[in-house]
Amino acid sequence: MATTAAVVDHATHAHADDRSFIRKYIFSTDHKIIGIQFGLMSLVFLALGGTLAMMIRWQLGFPGKPMPLGSLLPETMAAGGIMLPEFYVALVTMHGTIMVFFAIMPLLMGLFGNFLIPLKIGAPDMAFPRINMASFWIAVSAGVLMMAGFFVEGGHAGAGWTGYAPLSARPDLSGVSLGQELWCLSLIILGLASILGATNYITTVINMRAPGMTWFRLPLSIWALFIASILVLLAIPILSGAAIMLLFDQTIGTNFFNPATGGQPLLWQHLFWYFGHPEVYILILPAMGFVSDVLACGSRKPVFGYHSMIYAIISIGFLGWIVWGHHMFQSGMNPTLGMTFTISTLLIAVPSAIKVFNWMGTMWRGSIHFTTPVLHAVGFVAMFTIGGLSGVFMSSTPVDIYIHDTYFIVAHLHYVLFGGSLFGLFAAITFWYPKMFGRMMNEFWGKVHFWLTMVFYNAVFWPMHDIGVHGHMRRIYDPSQYDFLKPLAPVNTFISISAFLLFATQGIFALNFIISWFKGEKAGRNPWKDTGLEWSTPSPAPHGNFEKTPTVYNAPYEFSVPGMAEDYLPQDQKADQSRAPAGAGH
């Protein structure tokens, strides 16, 4: 009993901090608080980006009809409740921008990068806690700037989330001046936050692993976050450079993208996609990592092919740099390059396929407990597969001639980003919620949310393949302008109604999230009986995380080790020597 007392003593010691409220919750340097701050910020942006999508869907489903509540919008956005084309392009642009940069990316990297890395590697905090705090507040200011764009004269940026020049560089051609400048400025500032965050994460993983936490004992979530951080570190500065050039073209008359003086519009596309393709892997790798963790725990089995999963992550990280041209097949780039980019793009499908098969292998002969996080994880595998397969169509250059810039692309990117990243995030949020707030989310409503989301999500995005194959262009304000699109109008209406239902369904998640925070069932240290280090500390984890620095003895996913009473062996628990599990010695 003496030892227990000592532990308790330690725990209270870790708790006893006399930081003021502001230091503890606002300008906190605790990685868990910063993570949750990032999470709340991004969830707000997620809701906002979703709201924009609803307006887009209204216009597409019911072109030219007054929007419900549309009369609340100023005349510059909707005349008599009917959306204007200039507002539509701003909506499309901001929906993409917000979702990619202010919702999914900060949820994956800001929330979970922060929350999980120190907890899972057995560190008391990040390597640079103050820089971490700065990173969050820089991101907030970028968000404020981005929002400001809605209220300026000329409206918000309207050149798509990809900001193709010269449209984005020429206020006289787009009708947007300050909005587009704010867009650039905000992305540059957000880039700084991301780079600081990535520096922090990489240093932390390299330097602050607990004793015994070797590289091949790191959970896949940490591997994925680590590689994604490297991609952030190296890709974001390219975007910053490009955005600075664009900002200069807009404001001080430089000529980077101005064809009249010898500048090159395609230079923007090369820079943007040289950043952009690594970026899409930043948006999926962490989700893949979370899903691996959740699936192993849910199936009570070690991850199938742990090592090849790591090599797949690494090779995706490498190959991601040599495929950017697949976004530019029809751009007028040298057609011979198109061939090279086809091959590299098809090759990147291989590690993605390996991961899918390994997830299935993990479920194979498991003992799967279908809790809400596990449902979302299986849903992730099912949906990501579809997105990966549709990618194959587009990587074939001739087929891409036809489907490029159609709704087929929109379907693809939503299957990987919503079906992939967001389902992965739902799995992660529901899985680690108890560690964040000390309470469980409601399982019943969690399952209702999952199933409704699954149904409506597919109702929204599956038909988009179809209208894409019929030539339906993306970023079109009014499809009824074209005769060949007229027969597709009922499909558009169906998609829109499904989208409204999908959006409404997310209310269940929001309520579950908020109510569980106060009323949820209290979670113990390890509600899922998982093996990760984070589960060895109280929920929520105290400032400083661990009562004493853990020592790691085992590979990350030692579930159902034969001959053991419990079906899980935590990483920091020494196995009975005589029956040491395989893989423990890695």
Partner 1 sequence: MGWIIPHGVSTFTPEIDRLYYIILVITGIAFVLVEIGLIYFSFKYRAQPGRKAHYIHGNVTAEVIWTAVTAVTVVIIGIMSVPVWNKVKGRNSVPAGALAYNVTAKQFEWNVGYPGPDGQLNTADDFKVRNQLHVPVNRDVVLEATAEDVIHSFFVPAFRLKQDVVPGMRMRIWFRATEPGPYEIACAELCGLGHYKMRAFVTVHTQEEYDQWLAERAAQAQSEAQPSAVASR
Partner 2 sequence: MANATMMGPPAETQPATGVYNGKVGMWIFLGSEVMFFTALIGSYIILRFAHPEQWATPGQALNIPVTAVNTFLLICSSVTMVKAFAAIQDGDQKGLRMWLVATVLIGATFVSVQVYEYVHLAHLGLLPSGYREGSDLANAAASGVAWKAGPALPAAVGLYGTTFYTMTGFHGFHVTMGVLCMAFVTWKAFNGKYTVADHRGVEVIGLYWHFVDLVWIILFTIVYLM
Q: Which residues contact partner 2 by CB under 8 A?
A: 123-125, 127-128, 130-131, 195, 198-200, 202-203, 206-209, 233-238, 240-242, 244-245, 248, 252-256, 258, 261-264, 267, 270-271, 549
Stretch that binds partner 1, among 192-200, 299-307, 317-325, 530-538 (CB under 8 A): 299-307
What is the spatial distance between Cα 551 and Cα 345, in angstroms, rounded to a whole number?
Answer: 41
Please state, in angstroms and rounded to a whole number, the distance separating the CA atoms of residues 242 and 20: 41
Residue 480 binding ligand HEM, by CB under 6 A: no
**Looking only at residues 239 through 298 of this chain, which bind Cu ion when binding is defined by CB under 5 A?**
277
Contact of 555 with 214, CB cutoff 8 Å: no
- Of 103, 95, 115, give the one whose Cα is nearest residue 51: 95
Confirm or reject binding of residue 283 to ligand HEM (CB under 6 A).
yes
Q: Which of 358, 430, 512, 539 forms a contact with partner 1 (CB under 8 A)? A: 358
- Interacting partner of 349 out of ligand HEM, Cu ion, partner 2, none (Cβ under 5 to 8 A depending on kind): ligand HEM
Q: Are the CB atoms for 108 and 286 separated by under 8 Å?
A: yes
Cβ-in-10-Å burial (0-12, 13-18, 19+) of 490 comes to exposed
- Could you tell me if 169 and 250 are in contact, meaning their C-beta atoms sit under 8 angstroms apart? yes
355 binding ligand HEM? (CB under 6 A): no
349 binds ligand HEM (CB under 6 A): yes
Name the nearest CA neighbour of 161 among 60, 56, 262.
56
11 touches 538 (CB < 8 A): yes
Return the residues of window 33-72 that contact partner 1 according to CB under 8 A: none
Q: Give 471 or 540: the residue with its C-beta nearer to partner 1.
A: 471
Residue keyed to tokens 């899985």: 431
Residue 232 found at the interface with ligand HEM (CB under 6 A): no
Which span (223-231, 254-262, 295-303, 348-356) binds ligand HEM, by CB under 6 A? 348-356
392 forms part of the interface with partner 1 (CB under 8 A): yes
Q: Is 146 in the site for ligand HEM (CB under 6 A)?
A: no
SS (H, E, C) 233-247: HHHHHHHHHHHHHHH
Pick from 39, 179, 338, 520 the residue near partner 1 by CB under 8 A. Answer: 338
Choose, by CB under 8 A, the member of 473, 515, 575, 580 that binds partner 1: 473
Enter the tokens of residue 399.
């087929």
Helix (H) or strand (E) run with residue 381 in it: helix 372-395
CB of 257 to Cu ion, least distance (A): 17
Residue 400 touching ligand HEM (CB under 6 A): yes
Long-range CB contacts (< 8 A, 24+ apart) of 237-241?
237/191, 237/195, 238/271, 238/274, 238/275, 239/187, 239/191, 239/271, 239/272, 239/275, 239/276, 239/279, 240/187, 240/188, 240/191, 240/192, 240/195, 241/271
- The DSSP bridge pattern shows strands 78-79 and 82-83 to be antiparallel
Q: Smallest gap, in angstroms, from Cβ of residue 525 to partner 2?
A: 22
Residue 208's binding partner among ligand HEM, partner 1, partner 2, none (Cβ under 5 to 8 angstroms by kind) is partner 2
Burial call 26-46: b when 16+ CB within 10 Å, e when fewer: ebbbbbbbbbbbbbebbbebb
Binding map of partner 1 across residues 307-326, x = CB under 8 A, - = no contact: xx------------------
Retrieve residue 356's tokens: 């899918």
Question: Taking the complex as a whole, how short is the minimal distance between the CB of residue 260 and ligand HEM, in angstroms?
Answer: 26
Q: Which of 118, 366, 373, 550 binds partner 1 (CB under 8 A)?
A: 366
Residues with Cβ within 8 Å of 238's Cβ and at least 6 positions away in sequence, in order, are 271, 274, 275
Which residue's C-beta sits nearest to Cu ion? 277
The answer to the question of residue 326 lying near ligand HEM (CB under 6 A) is yes
Considering the rule CB under 6 A, would residue 416 count as an interface residue with ligand HEM? yes
- 482 part of the interface to partner 1, by CB under 8 A: yes
The two tokens of residue 373 are 């996080």
Q: If residue 311 lies in a helix (H) or strand (E), which one and from where to where?
A: helix 306-319
Q: Name the residue nearer to partner 2 (CB basis): 20 or 261.
A: 261
Choices 197-205, 290-298, 384-392, 532-540 (CB under 6 A): range interacting with ligand HEM: 384-392
- Nearest CA-CA partner of 553 in 575, 525, 582, 579: 575
For residue 551, count other CB atoms closer than 10 A to its CB.
Answer: 15
HEC string for 3-24 = HHHHHHHHHHHHHCCCCCHHHH
Among 73, 129, 447, 466, binds partner 1 (CB under 8 A): 466
Q: Count other C-beta atoms under 10 Å from residue 10's C-beta.
A: 15
The entry of ligand HEM, partner 2, Cu ion, none that residue 348 binds, CB within 5 to 8 Å by partner kind: ligand HEM
Query: What does the alpha-carbon distance between residue 161 and residue 413 come to, in Å, rounded to a whole number?
Result: 13
Count of residues touching partner 1 (by CB under 8 A): 102
Neighbours of 418 (CB within 10 A): 20
Scan residues 544-583 and list those touching ligand HEM (CB under 6 A). none
Residue 553 contacts partner 1 per CB under 8 A: no
40 contact partners, CB below 8 Å, separation of at least 6: none
Q: For residues 416 and 476, which CB has a smaller minimum distance to partner 1 in the complex?
A: 476
Among 37, 395, 498, 512, binds ligand HEM (CB under 6 A): 395
Which residue, 85 or 507, has its beta carbon nearer to partner 1?
85
* Contacts of ligand HEM in 446-475 (CB under 6 A): none
Question: In this complex, which beta carbon is closest to partner 1, that of residue 25 or of residue 357?
Answer: 357
How many residues form the binding site for ligand HEM (CB under 6 A)? 24
Nearer to ligand HEM, 269 or 442 (CB): 269
For partner 1, the binding residue among 50, 160, 237, 241 (CB under 8 A) is 160
Quick check: 575 binds partner 1 (CB under 8 A)?
A: no
d(CA 525, CA 523): 7
For binding to Cu ion (CB under 5 A), which residues are involved? 277
Give contact residues for ligand HEM (rule: CB under 6 A).
162, 280, 283-284, 326-327, 345, 348-349, 352, 388, 391-392, 394-395, 400, 404, 409, 412-413, 416-417, 420-421
